[in-house]
Amino acid sequence: MTQHLLFAAFALILASLAGCGVDGAPSRPEPARETAPQPGVHISGEARFGVISEL
């Protein structure tokens, strides 16, 4: 029982530290490459319709 409580306390401390920026100062994301899609809605695809009959 004591080991479970100790493990739970350790997990809580670790989660708290991970959430408060202990991994370092915030950094700006790298600029998007020119080939990256622009934000927004993008629809692409292919559709085929038709009737096939054999005599």
Give the pLDDT score at 32: 64
- List, for residues 3-44, the tens digit of each pLDDT value: 888 999 998 888 877 766 656 677 787 776 666 666 788 788
Give the pLDDT score at 37: 62
Give the pLDDT score at 35: 66
pLDDT of 47 higher than 80:
yes
Which residue, among 11, 27, 28, has the nearest Cα to 19 in the 3D structure?
A: 11
Q: Whole-angstrom Cα distance, residue 38 to residue 32?
A: 9
Give the pLDDT score at 20: 65
**Continuous H helices in the chain:** 2-19
State the DSSP H helix or E strand holding residue 45, giving kind and residue range, or none if neither. none
Q: What is the DSSP letter of 26?
A: -
